[in-house]
Amino acid sequence: MKAAVLVFPGSNCDRDIAVALERVTGRAPAMIWHKETALPAGLDLVVLPGGFSFGDYLRCGAMAARSPIIPAVRDHAARGGRVLGVCNGFQILCETGLLPGALLRNAGLKFICQETPLVVSNANTPFTAAYGGERETVIPIAHADGRYTADENTLNRLEGEGRIVFRYQGEAPNGSMRGIAGIISDDGAVMGMMPHPERACDPSLRRMGGWGVFQSLLDAA
């Protein structure tokens, strides 16, 4: 699988994602600075990592969504290429319109960093197929603006089309509507999730809850 990781000013999980991708695929991804205007040829996957792009000024992800590289990401997704946004990357994807809804300040108005039990709501996607019959996993979260919000029509459409792929078990720690932790686009090419799978895919740490995301993408490629 040929992958690329975007790098914005303030990204702090780009190297973590790169390490996870190399661990799973055996191949280091390309690291693409946000001011580039083109992606490498033949990519299977583009990842928008977590962090605090542009210091979260204006709105989380709003400035990054207007970076020169974003039109190339749009074109990649339009061709059916996979796009994964994690945490700040999810916020950016919502700001670009590649995913619906928005990520607002956590209900408790505090930064949350903790291991988080999740439900795999849809294991029939290129991002989750490796979970198979495993319907529960644990992946850490670390965010202050992770409360997924959308209008009722959008929420109903996401539910009806099976586009909610991860939910928080029990009460959402950030107050996300309908417990949403991750969604995919209507064509299944783009996924955004607030939990950090790259922080839970190292056998030596005995934290493997996020491995299924990367294995699924490798299998799909």
CB atoms within 10 A of CB 167: 18
Amino acid found at 143:
H
* 136-143, strands of its sheet edge to edge: 30-33, 3-7, 45-48, 82-86, 190-193, 180-184, 164-168, 112-120, 136-143
Task: Tell me which of 94, 143, 196, 201 is the catalytic residue.
Answer: 196
Q: Decide if 166 contacts 119 (C-beta within 8 A).
A: yes
Residue corresponding to tokens 């605090």: 52
In the set 34, 143, 198, 201, the catalytic residue is: 198
Tokens of 176: 């996300």
Give me the catalytic one of 87, 94, 143, 201: 87
- 196 as an active site residue: the answer is yes
> Which residues have a catalytic role annotated?
87, 196, 198
